[in-house]
Amino acid sequence: MQSNGVVPNVFSYQVLVRGLCSGKRLEDAYLFTIEMLEAGHSPNLATFTGLVDGYCREKGLEEAQTVIQAMRQKGYFVEEKAVREYLDKKGPFLPLVWEAILGKKASKSLCSKGFFISF
């Protein structure tokens, strides 16, 4: 984009990252997320959880945690309460997504509400 004279903003980055995640081009989505952070923009929770969800589904928990660690090293942090509320509202998400982001498995109460089959 920049080579064509277009300076991306937070919205264009988020659309690009979400599209790449939907197309299972996770490495490209990750690279654009890092570029986004380096440009001073932060992904919203939908973009962040979409990236983590894609990595959990396609690459596994360890790869997802590596992505989160790299984002944290670039200065990206999310409030645990905000993430919990987002995951509760927008679920269901794999238990691996909860574990990758929060460092712990989803609570049994969420499972009993039908958010997750089992883990």
Cis peptide before 8 (omega within 30 of 0): no
**Total structural domains in the chain?**
1
Contact indicator for 110, 116 with CB cutoff of 8 Å: yes
Could you report the per-residue pLDDT of 22-45, keeping only the tens digit for each? 999 999 999 999 999 999 999 999
For residue 117, being part of any structural domain is answered with: no
For residue 73, being part of any structural domain is answered with: yes
Rounded to 5°, angle at Cα 70 from 68 and 74 = 110
Asked if the model's pLDDT at residue 64 lies above 80, the reply is yes
Rounded to 5°, angle at Cα 15 from 12 and 19 = 140
Contact indicator for 67, 30 with CB cutoff of 8 Å: yes
Mean of all residue pLDDT scores within the chain: 83
Instruction: Read off the pLDDT of each residue in 35-63 and give the average, rounded to a whole number.
Output: 92
For residue 56, being part of any structural domain is answered with: yes
The parent domain of residue 25 ranges over: 2-112
For residue 118, being part of any structural domain is answered with: no
Q: What is this structure's pTM?
A: 0.78
